[in-house]
Amino acid sequence: MKYVFLDDHYDQGHFLMSDLENHQDCKVIYKDRLHQNAIINAFCCSHIIRKIKKRLRMPFRERAYHAILHRYCDADTQAIFMTTGWYCDMLIGYIRMKYPHIRLVMLIRDTVKDNTDRNKEFEIGKIKRLFDLVISYDNVHDVPVYGLTYAPVYMSKTDSLDLSSLTCKYDITFIGAAKDRLDLIHRIYQNCMAHGLKAFFYIFRVKKSKKLSHSGIIYSRRYLKRLMFLEKELEANCILEILKGDAHSNTTRFWEAVIYNKKFYTNWKGIVDSPYYHPKYIKVFDNPDDLDYDFIRERIDVDYNYQGELSPLKYIDLFKQLL
């Protein structure tokens, strides 16, 4: 196989990478669907690796990696693209030893800071030395600060939903983790309710003491399944995006609005520089008390003239161009 992609979990990754799954020169391997052997499958989940790697002897590690990669990596393989969830020093060392001809490409879909906080082995200076190409979506901060290569988080258009059967049930929808923005999310929800809007808000990871009582917000301990996530977005007239404090760039929420022609409301001011920006379809807010509720409510035909520019097949084009 010419191009091997090591992605995280299928539920999210399939929606991003399905164009590559259908490409004859590509193989996408998901951490939770990588092998029929349950022990090998569990071993290769990054959180398991970090817990038990010191207790495992090298031959077992090598057998586990071999079981995953040998079916798809050979003399014709040009590159392995890896998301940060796969990264660990042992795996990189094995690939470099076993397949020295293969180029390594790191795909950073979150901020460098978030990845550093999650994984003690993730050091951006080391990543740049070990990988032939390091791609980040954050062209405002991480790309210029760390000298990375920019590319958006590419996304396939799904064929898992019957788009023609979906109807508009909500004026606005927000789905996301609370993080450092819960007060802002709550304020916007209350304002939408006060103006008579129909809203679908689904927030996960909220402490009981922080929840609004007697509200229509759905609080959950778990992420919404990706198919349901997208369905709820497409049932809304407008998608709401509220970036957390250290986010600086266009997100997958925006790309979903573009691909599926939805209005978009965000607190990310840099969106006006996007080639897809159109003031009829996109609004930027600074103060949650000054939202344009007529914009949210009004039904119009939205068309960003999307022509597949965000397909993950672009990763291959970028690889050929730069390496």
Mean pLDDT of the chain: 91
Within this chain, do residues 138 and 200 fall inside the same structural domain, yes or no?
no
Within this chain, do residues 151 and 16 fall inside the same structural domain, yes or no?
yes
CATH of the domain at 190: 3.40.50.2000
Within this chain, do residues 16 and 140 fall inside the same structural domain, yes or no?
yes
Within this chain, do residues 15 and 149 fall inside the same structural domain, yes or no?
yes
Q: Mean pLDDT over residues 50-55, rounded? A: 49
Domain assignment of residue 169, yes or no = yes
Q: Mean pLDDT over residues 28-44, rounded? A: 75
Within this chain, do residues 236 and 258 fall inside the same structural domain, yes or no?
yes
Domain assignment of residue 72, yes or no = yes
Q: Is the pTM above the cut of 0.85?
A: yes
Task: Provide the domain limits for residue 317.
Answer: 3-156+312-322
Within this chain, do residues 119 and 178 fall inside the same structural domain, yes or no?
no
Domain assignment of residue 307, yes or no = no
Within this chain, do residues 172 and 261 fall inside the same structural domain, yes or no?
yes
Q: pLDDT value at position 244?
A: 74
Q: pLDDT value at position 214?
A: 85
Within this chain, do residues 198 and 263 fall inside the same structural domain, yes or no?
yes
CATH of the domain at 145: 3.40.50
Q: Using pLDDT thresholds of 50, 70 and 90, give the confidence band for residue 269.
A: very high
List, for residues 180-223, the tens digit of each pLDDT value: 899 999 999 999 999 999 999 999 999 999 999 989 999 999 88
Within this chain, do residues 124 and 238 fall inside the same structural domain, yes or no?
no
Contacts of residues 162-166 at CB distance under 8 Å and 24 or more positions apart, as own/partner, are 163/234, 163/260, 166/231, 166/234, 166/235
The domain total for the chain is: 2
